[in-house]
Structure 1
Amino acid sequence: MLQAAVHSGTAGRRCVFEVFARRLPDGRRYGVVAGTGRLLDALEAFRFDEDELAALVGVVDDGTIRALREWRFTGSIWGYAEGECYFPGSPLLVVEGTFAEAVLLETLVLSVLNHDCAIAAAASRMTAAAAGRPCIEMGSRRTHERSAVAAARAAYVAGFASTSNLEAGRTYAVPTAGTAAHAFTLLHDDERAAFAAQVAGLGTGTTLLVDTYDVAAGVRTAVEVAGTGLGAVRLDSGDLLLLAEQVRRQLDELGARSTRILVTSDLDEHAIAALAVAPVDGYGVGTSLVTGSGAPTAGLVYKLAARQGADGRLVGVAKSSVDKVGIAGRKWAMRRSSADGVDVAEVIGVGGHRPAGTASMRPLLVELVRDGVVVGREPLDDARSRHLRSRSALPDTATQLSRGEPAIPTTYQQEQP
């Protein structure tokens, strides 16, 4: 596309591309914006070096290679702030620049946002179901090695307390935590020796895995070795609801009333919700989280919404195929709330200038890049706090796990240019 646009003389036309989801994954009530910080970092580093250009010889012509050698994004980007909830049609990202600059960002933008938004949406459903009990991200062994780091970051944005992925801790300062595996117990001659070695190395605040053999015997041995100040025990198999009740009763009888119970074993938001009545203190979640709990992509698209016309002004454009009808024109987004502060609608303005906010209409687009310079970078904890506020403002139906429509409707209004 770039090569053809260079030859036709249209590569320099001013354009507006937008990222949005036509629909949410089946049954989901809201989406979650995540990956914005990663995307801004990637955009700053996005260049074509000589080795990459050499690999394009024979793929594109010399003129296009010259254009790529000089490629820099000098345009502007607006977007929903990281952690914000979104709905069908929400313009999560608005990219304005020349066609040559903006068209090359499609794969970069979508590969980051589709993955991270999917993970964050699943994580948000899980943390909502956990109702304040901490969730630990433990999915590194169930996904691609780089995706695992991104997943840990996205999960933290959506409320997870920590991750077992140390690279996510190093790169993004996500708090880290972990437990021993069954292999550590099986390495030793018996369970007592394994527990003694772990406590000697890590202290009595550690978490002992008590279901390698017999759970009741494991709990008794754990308290005998670590004392009543044992930090936690972990359950990784069986009927977790029943076992948690039995283990809590046993710990209390042994005097270990402050010892916490952590559960793992292929948990998802539904399993977490089912354990709401159990005496569980935290959840370790792996496979379901890093695969989006049934929705591994957010289904986001990157579409041209407006381009420069003959008179120099922007002209709205959109595809009109039967099953994928677009809405032409640059978008602005507001979230309408009721008098008591509950969100009631996603309002998308088309074709006009950015509207000012009011008491009941909150602007959603923030400036991320101005004239090629990143201006919207923020601490990860800001995105985490924003998500909690955004989710809390939605109607109560938003956190229901049953299938249903988006928590609030999306409406469009044509703005005056």
Structure 2
Amino acid sequence: MTTSTALLTDRYELTMLAAALRDGTASRPSVFELFSRRLSGGRRFGVVAGTGRLLALLREFRFGDDELRYLHDGRIVDAATLAYLEKYRFTGSIRGYREGELYFPGSPILTVEGTFADAVVLETLALSVLNHDSAVATAASRMSIAAGERPLAEMGSRRAAERSAVAAARAAYIAGFGSTSNLEAGRTWGIPTMGTAAHSWTLLHDTEEDAFRAQIESLGAETTLLVDTYDIRKGVETAIRVAGTGLGGVRLDSGDLPIVAAEVRIQLDELGATGTRITVTSDLDEYAIAALAASPVDAYGVGTSVVTGSGYPTASMVYKLVARQDSAGAWIGVAKASADKASHGGRKAAFRHLSDGVASAEVIVVSDGFEEIDTPSEHPEGRPLQVTFVEAGEIDTSFEGVEGTASARAHHMRVREELPVRALALSKSDPAIPTEYVEAQ
């Protein structure tokens, strides 16, 4: 049994639809665009995430009996609109940046083409998915860059809403994390899962040694023991005495981590456990991870910071009408003109210009009509950024599920190599590359 996603929306989308059906503009061909005017938090780049989830949700965007009854009983729309919604299926096309792709201010991350009625009702669904997932992915990518070759585990489920936690685990995996503690994310998206024991496990037992022995008997000596429930030095000594020098790892979840990690590494080596790994957790973010770069740490576990976008839980994306046909059937570009929220109207093609393999500019080609838009052959120095997700209502399933998630992760790792060195810094700054608008030839 499927669950409709049609009411994961704002009321004004349906009231606009009702008015458009009444005045005859509902069938007017239109182009909507999802983009961000700026990068949240002075970040130097953004990471697109959520597209695969959005496509799956779009498939279930249907107004069934329950949804129609709610709209009728609440007097939200009139009878004509209810009749339209009963048969609603998205029949337009959607193009955009692949998941895992980098984006910058003005990047046409998603372009939705169809009638006004087709596209207007998708605004909230598209924004709620991509704003959340892209915010998480952007933070996760910064953490991945800071971590270097050291593995990262996402473990923030307890700091997010239950479904948001699953989505966040997916976004973090796309952007460079190697595993998650969330089992639903593992089942749904094929993400490797990890996890051993919390402090409650140690506190359950009469002694720390009893807890360690029981865990090793259950999970084997390759497990990771949490050694900071009581005294860290005693915890490490007990861990090696119980597990032997082949213990897989110890985890530190408190204290001044650079100092504690160094002390624990020395102690482990003195005890002969030179191969025992050190994993650190405890409210890490990209800055704390960077500060641990010179410490003898082998892996990181990140919770609250990654699932909340490291202080910026939304990517500040918007969904705007950028082109439409007028009453005579001619295409025109349209855009909001207010000083602080001005945007660029027109249908767009996007290219990332590269110099010796390094990104130098985000080039956005703008056209009012469809026939004048530039093709990749006209920008040989640029990498085309847009692909087709939906064509005439048919959804490309290759971007969904386990395979789509793995593909997005691989794509992100490839395109991240294009970033200029200045993009890797964590301090607030202007975007790493400029966005340049040019008129279609």
**2:62 aligned with 1:47, yes or no?**
yes
Deviation at 1:376, TM superposition (A): 5.9
Deviation at 1:354, TM superposition (A): 4.2
The 1-side partners of 2:246 and 2:331 are apart by 67
1:369/1:376 contact within 8 Å kept: no
Q: Distance in 2 between matches of 1:207 and 1:66?
A: 59
| 1:31-60 per-position Cα deviation (integer Å, ceiling 9, x unaligned) | 000011101101111111110110001111
Matches within 5 A, 1:1-150: 1-57=16-72, 58-150=75-167
SS in 2 for 1:346: strand
Q: Distance in 1 between matches of 2:330 and 2:382?
A: 28
By how many angstroms is 1:402 displaced?
Answer: 1.1
Partner of 1:346 in structure 2?
A: 362
The TM-score with structure 1 as length reference comes to: 0.98
Letter in 2 for 1:353: I
Once residues 284 and 31 of structure 1 are traced to their aligned partners in structure 2, the CA distance between those partners, rounded to angstroms, is: 22
Read off the aligned partner of 1:360 and give its amino acid letter: E
Match of 2:221 among 204, 219, 236: 204
Query: 1:297-316 to 2 correspondence within 5 Å?
Result: 297-316=314-333
- Measured in 2, the distance between the counterparts of 1:394 and 1:359 equals 19
Deviations 1:236-286 (A, max 9, x none): 000110111111111111111111000000000000000000000010000
Structure 1 vs Structure 2 CA RMSD: 1.0
Distance 1:324 1:245 in 2: 50
Whether 1:367 aligns to 2:388 is yes
Q: Does residue 291 of structure 1 match 2:311?
A: no
Task: Write the distance in 2 (CA, Å) between the matches of 1:59 and 1:19.
Answer: 26
Q: Determine the C-alpha separation between the residues in 2 that align with 1:336 and 1:394.
A: 11
Offset, 1:313: 3.4
Q: Of residues 161, 179, 182 in structure 1, which corresponds to 2:196?
A: 179
Structure 1 position 391, deviation (Å): 1.4
1:224 Cα deviation (Å)?
Answer: 1.1
Structure 1 range deviating more: 36-45 or 111-120? 36-45
Structure 2: distance between partners of 1:265 and 1:134: 16
SS at match of 1:16: strand
Alpha-carbon shift at residue 227 of structure 1 (Å): 1.1
Q: Which residue of 2 aligns with 1:395?
A: 420
Q: Which amino acid aligns with 1:406?
A: P
SS of the residue corresponding to residue 153 of structure 2 reads strand
> For the Cα contact (< 8 Å) 1:20–1:91, is it kept in 2?
yes
1:377 matched to 2:398? The reply is: yes
Secondary structure (helix, strand or coil) at the match of 1:129 reads helix
Per the TM alignment, residue 198 of structure 1 is displaced from its structure 2 partner at its CA by 0.4
Segments ≥4 residues shifted beyond 4 Å: none
Structure 2 residue corresponding to 1:322, chosen from 339, 351, 354 = 339
- Is the Cα contact below 8 Å between 1:40 and 1:377 reproduced in 2? no
Counterpart amino acid of residue 346 in structure 1: E
Moved more, 107-116 or 220-229: 220-229
Query: Aligned equivalents of 2:427 and 2:345: distance in 1?
Result: 34
**How far off is 1:26 after superposition?**
2.5
Using the alignment, how far apart are the partners of 1:182 and 1:32 within structure 2?
A: 35
- Report the Cα offset of residue 225 of structure 1: 1.0
Following TM superposition, by how much is the alpha carbon of 1:375 offset from its aligned partner in structure 2, in angstroms? Answer: 2.0
Task: Give the secondary-structure state (helix, strand or coil) at the position aligned to 1:265.
Answer: coil
Is the partner of 2:33 in helix, strand or coil? strand
Distance 1:74 1:133 in 2: 45
SS in 2 for 1:297: coil
Bigger drift between 39-48 and 156-165 goes to: 39-48
Cα distance in 2, alignment partners of residues 201 and 307 from structure 1: 64
Q: How far did residue 315 of structure 1 move?
A: 1.4
| SS of residue in 1 equivalent to 2:173 | helix
Quick one: distance in 1 between partners of 2:47 and 2:343? 22
Change in 2 beyond 3 A, CA 1:354/1:366? farther
Q: CA deviation at 1:374?
A: 1.1
Deviation at 1:322, TM superposition (A): 2.0
Distance 1:249 1:327 in 2: 58
Instruction: Please say which of residues 350-359 and 238-247 is displaced more in the overlay.
Output: 350-359
Q: In structure 2, how many angstroms separate the alpha carbons of the residues matched to 1:354 and 1:232? A: 55
SS in 2 for 1:41: helix
What is the CA-CA distance between 1:310 and the residue it aligns to?
A: 2.9
Matches of 1:261 and 1:30, distance apart in 2: 31
Deviation at 1:392, TM superposition (A): 1.3
Task: Note the alpha carbon deviations across 1:140-186, whole angstroms, 9 max, x for none.
Answer: 00010000000000000000000000000011111100131100000
Cross-structure match for 2:292: 275
1:257 and 2:277 correspond: no
Q: Give CA-to-partner distance per residue, 1:332-351, whole Å, 9 cap, x none.
A: 1000011x111000000001
- Count of aligned pairs between the two proteins: 415
Alignment match of 1:404 (pick from 429, 433, 438): 429
Report SS of the residue matched to 2:319: strand
Does the CA-based 8 Å contact 2:374-2:440 persist in structure 1?
A: no
TM-score (norm 2): 0.93
Paired letter, 2:365: G
**How many angstroms does 1:377 deviate by?**
2.5
Gaps of 5+ in 1: none
What letter corresponds to residue 199 of structure 2 in structure 1?
H
Structure 2 letter corresponding to 1:208: L
Distance in 2, Cα, partners of 1:370 & 1:12 = 18
Q: Is the 1:21–1:301 Cα contact (8 Å) retained in structure 2?
A: yes
Alignment partner of 1:164 is 2:184: no
